[in-house]
Structure 1
Amino acid sequence: MIFGNVKDLEDYNFLPEEIKRCFAYAKTHDLIGYEKGSHTIDGDDLFVNIVEYETTARENRFWEAHRNYLDLHLMLRGKEQIDLNFIDNMEQKEFVEKDDFLPLEGPENAHVVLTDKDFLICYPKDGHRTAIAAGDPVVIKKAIFKIKIK
């Protein structure tokens, strides 16, 4: 996992071109104005899901990981905590191929708090539990770029 802010992108030149492409797309498109839902960038290889929801208590949320796509969470508006742990530290449930969804159970090992223009890149070994309130619940808007692993 990689946690940062877009103002510091020059420090992330080591990132693969597919991830840099997401940041370039975000810079040239008004994502805050996008409707909720999935938006194609490059077919199944790269797309962005725009989500808007109210953060909540940790016990109301679920763990997940993915095998076929990397997630790049980019906060557009609001404040959200994301709990993290490596999937090898957790109980892995049955993988749902059509949704690229690996349900997990277990405790958090760490967490990050995303605010405006913060990002979190989650790789296949990175379990994550999103939508946790960092303080009082708030409605957030976030772009989640899905980058196909080749």
Structure 2
Amino acid sequence: MILDSLAHWGQYRWLSPHFPSAFAFLETITADAAVGRHEIAGDDVFAFVQQHETKLVETCRFEAHRQYLDIQYILRGREIMHWAPLPTLTEVTMPFDADKDAALYARSIPGVPVPVLAGQFTIFFPGDGHIPSCAWDDVPAEVLKVVVKVRVA
């Protein structure tokens, strides 16, 4: 898992040949972008612009992916994302679904809270269990964010 500001994305360039196109998209996206899917490089790199209200962590489950990593970038607002190493998540609530590229796990451990502000991004790799979109100080608030999916498998 990585947390950083968009200005520093270049130091992670070597992690994926798809990162230049993914981050070029993030550098040009504005709060006026349409909510929904945005094509970047076919099925190798694409993004979802999301506008939603954060939720209480107690109502959420960990998720993990196999085929894609997530770059989650906050355009407006702030949220807490929780991280846990995948091997520590032992209670599966939804087995891996290849079509959704996701498995869900009970919040049987608290995970590590990661505060993310506007202008910052996280990278969650396939070995990272994560709970995005959690309320800061348990107060739900609106967030505008972009989740870029980058193929790793």
Fold agreement, TM-score > 0.5: yes
Query: In 2, distance between residues paired with 1:134 and 1:78?
Result: 10
Q: Deviations over 1:93-132 (max 9, x none)?
A: 2111110011112213312111111110000110001111
SS at 1:26's partner residue?
Answer: helix
Q: Which consecutive residues of structure 1, in runs of 5 or more, have no partner in the other structure?
A: none
- Aligned pair count reads 149
Report if the CA contact (8 A) 2:22-2:40 is conserved: no
Pick closer, same or farther for the CA change 1:37–1:10 going to 2, 3 Å. closer
Q: Deviations over 1:55-97 (max 9, x none)?
A: 1211122210000101000110001000110110012521111
Q: Which segments of structure 1 move beyond 2 Å, counting only runs of 4 or more?
A: 7-17
Q: Which consecutive residues of structure 2, in runs of 5 or more, have no partner in the other structure?
A: none
Per-residue deviation at 1:40? 1.1
Query: In 2, distance between residues paired with 1:62 and 1:85?
Result: 11
Per-residue deviation at 1:11? 4.1
Per-residue deviation at 1:10? 4.6
Query: In 2, distance between residues paired with 1:118 and 1:80?
Result: 11
| Letter in structure 2 aligned against 1:145 | V
- Equivalence map 1:84-95=2 (5 Å): 84-91=83-90, 93=92, 94-95=95-96
Using the aligned pairs only, state the percent identity.
Answer: 27
Report if the CA contact (8 A) 1:75-1:118 is conserved: yes
Normalising by structure 2, report the TM-score: 0.89
RMSD (Å) for aligned C-alpha atoms: 1.5
| Letter in structure 2 aligned against 1:2 | I
Residue 148 in structure 1 maps to residue 121 in structure 2: no
Query: In 2, distance between residues paired with 1:118 and 1:112?
Result: 11
